[in-house]
Amino acid sequence: MTEKIYPVAVIGGGSAGIMATLRCVLNNDEVLLFPGSPKDKKKSRALWVRKIENMPAHFNYKRGIEEPNLETIKWIESSEFASKFHYQKNLGITSIQKNAHGLFVLTDSKGASYLSKNVILCTGVMDVQPEIKGSIETIFDYANAQTVDYCLRCDGHHTLGKKTAIIGHGNGAAWVAIMLYERYKQPEMTILTHGKPAEFSEDTKKLLELYKIRVLENTITEIQGEDKGKNLKGFVLDDGNIIQAEMSFVSLGMIIYNELAKELQVDLDDRGFVKTDESGLTSVEGLYVAGDLRANAKKQIYTAWDHAVNSADAINQKLRSEARQQTLSNL
């Protein structure tokens, strides 16, 4: 184990993790960044995000999180703060514990250990994918081409003027259909519950009826489209019917990457998101959470950024206060 004690370790290299790192470095605090192993990255939202149209100045990136994040890392490495930045490229954290001195002991994906006073945990979430004929891969071309989307606030506008299908069976899926219809008045809106019984409340059902939103409980057997998913045509159902759709959304819930938080026994909400105060501080002293993993927050890049800044600044305030006390006691 290395003996050095880092003031801050950031776990995760997506929207929240890179903003947390940037803010810590600009605050002149030494920071240890674990962006995740290739396996961690592959299952993150950060990797799957393509074009971003709901944030100013991001329109030209093909990978709207990965590309600006890499630019940021390069800038830090070439800046006057480079010596404060300890980049553990391609490494994830597999275990986190607190020792008898109240320090976090982090173990990386290669088995090395590190000590840190504070941790900003930014491991995010992932959207649940539908299995079509036993595989989630059927949808990947369409997800890459963004004819299958996941985030209403990010990509809902893609449905303007397009026949749209929502894949999901919960009340949340029905509300995605209702909100999209109320905003964009698509020529056709269908909910495909993909073989599951619809679990919609009575009020929701009334609205679906009012807006003529179809609900079909058949199983999807095939996706029809061309040009590597860029041109979605529709969904083939197990009764042979083809539901035409040029755009679609998946609304099946989220996989929450809270394993490290659970290891420290932090308070979670009933869905598994980590409960925090405004600064991102969890029920464990020194452990902050930023980004999609945090409870009661919009799952967006700009909210992840805001969380990250709040956490980095709260840590900086603590570190400055400790240093101030030390200076005063030495007088």
Residue type, 275: K
**3-state DSSP call for residue 283?**
coil
The residue with its CB nearest to ligand FAD is 14
Binding mask 251-270 for ligand FAD (x = CB under 6 A): ------x-------------
Here's the x/- map for ligand FAD, 200-239, by CB under 6 A: it reads as ----------------------------------------
CB of 236 to ligand FAD, least distance (A): 24
| Beta strand residue intervals within the chain, DSSP E | 5-11, 31-34, 85-87, 93-98, 104-108, 113-121, 125-127, 148-149, 164-167, 189-192, 214-216, 220-226, 231-237, 242-244, 247-250, 254-256, 287-289
107 touches ligand FAD by CB under 6 A: no
User: Site residues for ligand FAD, window 120-159 (CB under 6 A)?
Assistant: 122-124, 127, 150-151, 154
Residue 165 CA to residue 245 CA, distance in Å, equals 6
Please, which residues bridge with residue 166 across strands? Answer: 191, 249
* String marking each residue 32-71 x if it binds ligand FAD according to CB under 6 A: --xxx---xx--xxx-xx--x-xx---------x------
d(CA 326, CA 265): 31
How many residues bind ligand FAD (CB under 6 A)? The answer is 39
- CB neighbour class for 299 (10 Å; exposed up to 12, middle 13-18, buried from 19): buried
Answer yes or no whether residue 316 interacts with ligand FAD by CB under 6 A: no
For the chain, state the CA radius of gyration.
22
* 280 is a contact residue toward ligand FAD (CB under 6 A): no
Determine if 273 is a binding residue for ligand FAD (CB under 6 A). Answer: no
Q: By CB under 6 A, which span of 99-107, 270-278, 299-307, 318-326 interacts with ligand FAD? A: 299-307
Residue 308 Cβ vs ligand FAD, minimum distance, rounded to whole Å:
8
End-to-end CA distance of the chain: 35
Which residue ranges make up the site for ligand FAD (CB under 6 A)?
11-17, 34-36, 40-41, 44-46, 48-49, 52, 54-55, 65, 92-93, 122-124, 127, 150-151, 154, 257, 291-293, 299-302, 304
